[in-house]
Structure 1
Amino acid sequence: MTNAVFQLSCQRNNYPWGKKGQQSLAVKLCEKTKEYAEMWMGDYPDIPAKSLEIGEKLQTIIEQNKEKLLGKKCIDKFGGQLPFLPKILSIQKAFPLQGHPNKSLATRLHQKNPKQFTDENHKPEIAIALSEFEVFAGWKPLHEIQPLFQLQPLQRFLPRTHASFNDERLRSVTQTILQASDDVIAGTQKALATVSREEYGQQAYILGLLGRLQQQYSQEDAVASIYIPADGIHAYLSGDIIECMARSNNVLNSGFCPRADRDSIELFSASLTFSTHSVETMLLRSEPSPKSGGGKTLVYAPPMSEFNMILTALKESETETIRSVDEPMVMIVTSGSRSMKADGETHNIKDGYVYSIGQGIELVYETDAGLEVYAAYAE
């Protein structure tokens, strides 16, 4: 029988949008135990974490010790696996404009093409900034979108039939832009760059963003914490984040990437939802965590049932107790060092260390010079 608390070795995932070398926080944290780049910290089979001590996949360890590590509550609700997948991402340039299918669509796509869509689950997610972070997520309010399409270079994408600018018109415009030829996109971007800042009004920042994206990709390819629902359109632009999502790796890409890498534009457009039309609806605010024994832990609780994320931030010579939860947890130290007491043992910890914590385990953190720990747990 395995221990209920054990250190993980987390593996890499490389993408062209990632930061290079020591510029990447994913590098700095992941190299503490093994490889580096985008850092996955779960039992998902594509890029599984492993026990640092014995080299066994976390998925295999959980399968052999379900009751001890997951607990009955988690097994009954989510099955014999972690229901969440935490990651560290370091973004140098915009990654593909994307959305994640909901459960109904994910099931159909998995049955049709299991090689590309490797599970039947949805993929709502949260992103918590670890550095200055830029993200495109959701949609502007319609009253801010409509004036942009009064700019002469964008008028060609408007459908002729819609009388008002509503969600369905926005869906149609999105699909039309994505389906436009390379020459049309290049010409539109060139024309937009000549429009005066006064015509853009309060959205003149788009001029700067357009130039940056053109430098990152060819013209044709082209916070603190947020919550992105399934089917929510988004693209991370720059920065280091800790990301956590429901257990899934399903994605529909359509933009900020070569045409050969794009999924069906019709499918992407049809899957979009338009529930978010303001910054406030995207923000995920932290609150004091009820798991905190000393008041030094915050919780990020997205409107979904698979997981919560907690942040414990300690200053010099402080301690904190995390009360036991009835479900599994995965934690990572993002800065600082000293010790974690858990299940009768004391573990030396420092930045980059990742641990699997079985259900029902109380944690005690101690530090001399400061400590910052994030942990995802089933909820």
Structure 2
Amino acid sequence: MVVPLRPSVKDYAWGIRGLDSRVARYALESGIIDEVDPDSPYAELWIGTHAKGPATLRDGSTLEEAVGGQLPFLFKVLSAGKALSIQAHPDKTGAERLHDKDPTNYGDANHKPEMAIALTPFEAMCGFRRIEEIAILIKKHREFAACISETAKLAVFLAHDEDSGRSALKAMFSSFMTCPKEESLKNLKALLKRLQSEQGGHHPHQEPPWERKCSRAILRLSQQFPGDPGAMSPFFLNYLLIAPGESFYMDANEPHAYVAGEIIECMACSDNVVRAGLTPKFKDVENLVNMLTYSMGGPSIDAGSSPTFGDDRIMRYTPPTKEFEVMVMTCNPGEDLNMPKLAVPAVFIVIEGSGSTDNTQGQRLVMRPGRSYYIPPNCPPLTLSVSGTKRGPLRIAVAHQNQHIHCPTVSPAGSPQTYAGEFNLGASPRNPKTPRSIAGNSCPEPPSLSG
């Protein structure tokens, strides 16, 4: 039988406040809070078995007890009102080392690859810019350049291939992150003063759009984190705007910082984060500098793969990692949609609209935004139904162990299909309405999953 769940809610300071937060509305609907405080941030909703935020059943037992062990993934809803920290997640070997050395700040020994799917327009800094872009920004912004050693700047200017580019990136990033605080603050103040005057139309020459976007992002981050040199991170990290329905994948050891908007996120079951800026939390610059891959260009931006299980209303988001994948199912007014039968444990949450369900066991559930459920392996599949009188679709997101790892739909930074940089003229424009995947839309379904 499909079992209703009570997720765990997190009130991190970067969350959206009050009922403007999807996390707050979902938490209220699922019964884990009695009311929404208009002044409090509601940042994350966790659906999984991680010890820091285990989901429970209505009788008080844990999801882990119902599953009979840990789920390999953690499913989240994020509502970001301001930027999260500049961070990366360790690979398995790195996580084991960090946990053994510092269990207080690194509470588990697992890696944390993660995939995000936008629910609203979503802003994020993901992966390093191309070395050519960084060279342009160093030459143009003397305040940024003053935070980087002469040796590191020379390496950036002389980089001529992938290996020298990676070495130059590491030298630049390490130099910037270890710049003496008084020096970086002095240059940050001078930079902000100049950028503010240029935003008013007094800049000496016309900037291309990607540079204007970079400058505005720095001003915005500096307001959120006064006195934090990490506000200059748009000079070296790609600044992306993700449309609803689009996704990206962040592999281990890749830098990123989510900025604003709402997403569903799925990851390996871990809460390990190595931070270096834009946060009052523990910063571990040395480990972050040493763990990154220094690939350039950021992740690919993809819109999933459809049809899945023979139904074009089921969109599949599959990363190149074994722990998880996500399906988003859309049932329109007047329609029924048969959910596929899964041979592995799964959880799902209603993200939009309302409707009802049925199955061969006569299990009827009311679907409302924020309600979440556990689906045991080989459970009789539910049929979603939406009345023809409704004015919008019912949409749910299902997370489970990856069953299509041979046909991923997203690729990590550094692969041939990754984001090519903001001023790459050779990149063809993406169309969010056209699903893209690395292997196309012809991925066969595993025989054990036929519904």
TM-score normalised per structure 2: 0.75
Q: Is the 8 A contact 1:311 1:374 kept in 2?
A: yes
Letter paired with 1:123: K
CA offset digits 1:197-224 (Å, max 9, x no partner): 7485442212211111111111225412
Cα distance in 2 between the residues matched to 1:231 and 1:288:
30
Deviation of the 1:141 alpha carbon: 1.7
Partner residue, 1:96: 85
1:358/1:159 Cα in 2 relative to 1: closer, same or farther (>3 Å)? farther
Q: Is the 8 A contact 1:100 1:232 kept in 2?
A: yes
Partner residue, 1:365: 384
1:183/1:32 Cα in 2 relative to 1: closer, same or farther (>3 Å)? same
Partner residue, 1:211: 219
1:180/1:262 Cα in 2 relative to 1: closer, same or farther (>3 Å)? farther
Q: 2:230 aligned with 1:239, yes or no?
A: no
1:240/1:197 Cα in 2 relative to 1: closer, same or farther (>3 Å)? farther
Q: Is the 8 A contact 2:87 2:256 kept in 1?
A: yes
Q: Is the 8 A contact 1:5 1:343 kept in 2?
A: no
Q: Is the 8 A contact 1:138 1:276 kept in 2?
A: yes
Q: Is the 8 A contact 1:159 1:173 kept in 2?
A: no
Q: Is the 8 A contact 2:228 2:277 kept in 1?
A: no
Q: 2:51 aligned with 1:45, yes or no?
A: yes
Determine which of 356, 375, 378 is the counterpart of 2:398. 375
Determine which of 335, 340, 353 is the counterpart of 1:336. 353
Please show how residues 7-22 of structure 1 align to structure 2 within 5 Å: 7-22=4-19
Partner residue, 1:323: 340
Q: 2:255 aligned with 1:255, yes or no?
A: no
CA offset digits 1:58-116 (Å, max 9, x no partner): 112222xxxxxxxxxxxxxxxx4211101011001001110000001001111222232
Cα distance in 1 between the residues matched to 2:139 and 2:180:
21
**Helix, strand or coil for the counterpart of 1:253?**
strand
1:198/1:357 Cα in 2 relative to 1: closer, same or farther (>3 Å)? farther
Q: Is the 8 A contact 1:297 1:310 kept in 2?
A: yes
Partner residue, 2:143: 153
Q: 2:3 aligned with 1:6, yes or no?
A: yes
Q: Is the 8 A contact 1:100 1:122 kept in 2?
A: yes
CA offset digits 1:109-149 (Å, max 9, x no partner): 11222232222211010111111210001122222121111
Letter paired with 1:306: E
Q: Is the 8 A contact 2:124 2:259 kept in 1?
A: yes
Cα distance in 2 between the residues matched to 1:356 and 1:343:
17
Larger % of strand: which?
1
Partner residue, 1:57: 62
**Helix, strand or coil for the counterpart of 1:227?**
strand
Cα distance in 1 between the residues matched to 2:179 and 2:94:
26
Deviation of the 1:343 alpha carbon: 6.0
Partner residue, 1:296: 313
Q: 2:122 aligned with 1:133, yes or no?
A: yes
Q: Is the 8 A contact 1:82 1:247 kept in 2?
A: yes
CA offset digits 1:19-67 (Å, max 9, x no partner): 1111111001111121373100111111111002x1111112222xxxx
Partner residue, 1:74: none
Cα distance in 1 between the residues matched to 2:341 and 2:399:
13
How many residue pairs align between the two structures? 354
What do you get for the CA RMSD once the two structures are aligned? 1.9
CA offset digits 1:223-258 (Å, max 9, x no partner): 121111111111110001111101111010111013
Cα distance in 1 between the residues matched to 2:204 and 2:315:
41
Partner residue, 2:365: 347
CA offset digits 1:268-297 (Å, max 9, x no partner): 11111123414xx431331114335x4311
Cα distance in 2 between the residues matched to 1:358 and 1:286:
25
Q: Is the 8 A contact 1:197 1:204 kept in 2?
A: no
Partner residue, 1:190: 189
1:149/1:199 Cα in 2 relative to 1: closer, same or farther (>3 Å)? farther
Deviation of the 1:267 alpha carbon: 0.7
Q: 2:290 aligned with 1:270, yes or no?
A: yes
Cα distance in 2 between the residues matched to 1:22 and 1:358:
32
Cα distance in 2 between the residues matched to 1:351 and 1:212:
31
1:114/1:312 Cα in 2 relative to 1: closer, same or farther (>3 Å)? same
1:168/1:138 Cα in 2 relative to 1: closer, same or farther (>3 Å)? same
**Helix, strand or coil for the counterpart of 1:106?**
helix
Q: Is the 8 A contact 2:90 2:272 kept in 1?
A: yes
Cα distance in 2 between the residues matched to 1:335 and 1:147:
43
Cα distance in 2 between the residues matched to 1:198 and 1:327:
58
Deviation of the 1:264 alpha carbon: 2.1
Cα distance in 1 between the residues matched to 2:343 and 2:204:
55
Letter paired with 1:210: I
User: What are structure 1's unaligned runs of at least 5 residues?
Assistant: 64-79
CA offset digits 1:314-336 (Å, max 9, x no partner): 22111111221211111000111
CA offset digits 1:298-357 (Å, max 9, x no partner): 001111111110111122111111221211111000111121234611212211110011
Please show how residues 58-77 of structure 1 align to structure 2 within 5 Å: 58-63=63-68
1:321/1:180 Cα in 2 relative to 1: closer, same or farther (>3 Å)? same
